[in-house]
Amino acid sequence: MSRKLVLNINEYVHSSDLHENSNQIKKNISKCSYPDNISRNDFDQWSIVSNLGNTLQQQMPVVEINTITSNNSNLDQNYRQNRTYMSQSKLNTSSRLEEKQKRRRPWFIWIISIIQLCVFIFELIYNWLLTTRPIETNLSLNPLFGPNPHVLINIGANFSPCMHAIDGITNNVSSTNFPCPNSATLKHTGCTLSQLCGYNGVSSTPNQWYRFIISMFLHVGIVHIVINLLGQLLIAGQIEKKIGIFRIAFIYFASGIFGFILGGNFAPDGLSRVGCSGSLFAVIALALLDLLYHWKKTKYPKIQLTIHLVDIIINFVLGLLPGIDNFSHVGGFVMGLLLGLAILGSPVNLRRRKKPKLFRPIMNDWNNPLWYEKLFYNRQRKWWAWWLVRFISLAVAVTLFALFTESFYSGRIKCSWCKYISCLPVNSWCDLGKLNVVNS
């Protein structure tokens, strides 16, 4: 048994000084006495067990630390993999959206363009039946190579006396004479307002409200419809691919109708207004918003912004010339801008979400959220502020639409200088289209 003690001491003592005195230590240990109730064999066994216990206690923290470190490394690796997967999924999603937009067909714009072309062919045929020629040869009546303006009124052009009461004009419908649809000059005034307006005639309070919609499908002449269809197919078709058929249809009709309502409030009552120019200016507003929303993803955005602004300014300036309804342009652009802000979503830089504050092991749950979490979870404060902007834009659009529609029938809004939005005060351009009552 003393040999075992000697071996244990030699295992735990490594110093050179102690090794020299090892023999003396061995002798002293052999002379040691043990308690009566514990034998030397028991003491040796107890010392070995205690040493093993101390060894296990020292090794346990190391094992725990190694386990936690390995778990943290695995979590970090999983987190990095999740981040990589999220970035790759975002890239894949954006690429899929771009491919989907390229494959999408602008069905609404195609259908509306075909309808407008068919309606224009009908205009020419109807003008032929009434005036024995498809195109008005008197360029003073129509310089754009199209039907007689009185024929357009009879078909459904936006003509105020057919749509609401006008003091001194519609008070006595049967006795007031207007140009006939088949008249080649303005001097031929042998028809009543009911005969001119058509659609079963009008009463002393005309209300052919559907002219706000029908007039969007009519065009003055060949030049007019060619310009509108080119802009419609080239610009509006691309916008429809990006925002979808329902949103483009809603903005198209709402903006076109509002342009005619605005003109009905301030334009001279004797002018007839047709065309989809208000809707096209709404599309121009949507294209401008789309450029601003995707500013960082657009090549040469400053150049494109300059082109957009120059195009808008030129069109507004051309709208000041006689025979062009600039109220439709301005009204369509304003309504398109407001509705675009309301229903097009938010700019791309505001759509990025904040980093999730969830515990890393449940990152997979964050990567597969529910539908309402996809819309609202982890949004930036600017995104919520933009929702306020969208709500205000929608409220302003609805208010303007209702306010000017009510004023069209009641004449509540009075504005003496608003006529200059659509004309220049030269050569009596702003007096064109005024109705004068002549007693005979």
Mapped onto helix, strand or coil, the DSSP state of residue 417 is coil
How many whole angstroms separate alpha carbon 323 and alpha carbon 423? 9
Estimate to the nearest angstrom the gap between the alpha carbon of 90 and the chain centroid.
19
Active site residue 329: yes
Mapped onto helix, strand or coil, the DSSP state of residue 68 is helix
Among residues 216, 341, 359, the alpha carbon closest in space to that of 286 is found at 341
Among residues 248, 223, 222, 247, the alpha carbon closest in space to that of 235 is found at 248
Count CB atoms within 10 A of the CB of residue 284.
Answer: 23
- Out of 164, 219, 224, 329, the active site residue is 329
How many whole angstroms separate alpha carbon 278 and alpha carbon 192? 30
**Token pair of 237 as six digits:** 């078709």
Tell me how many helices (H) and strands (E) the chain has.
18, 4
Enter the DSSP assignment of 236. I
Q: How many residues are recorded in the chain? A: 440
Express the helix, strand and coil content of the chain in percent, nearest 5 each: 65, 0, 30
How many whole angstroms separate alpha carbon 435 and alpha carbon 440? 15
Pairing of strands 272-273, 158-159: antiparallel
- Out of 183, 255, 272, 277, the active site residue is 277
Active site residue 277: yes
Kind plus residue range of the DSSP H or E element containing 252: helix 245-266
Mapped onto helix, strand or coil, the DSSP state of residue 158 is strand
**Token pair of 315 as six digits:** 């069109």
158: phi then psi, degrees, rounded to nearest 5: -75, 100
How many whole angstroms separate alpha carbon 405 and alpha carbon 407? 5
Among residues 420, 93, 81, the alpha carbon closest in space to that of 266 is found at 420
Q: What are the residues facing 158 on neighbouring strands?
A: 273
Q: What are the residues facing 259 on neighbouring strands?
A: none
Q: Which residues are catalytic?
A: 277, 329
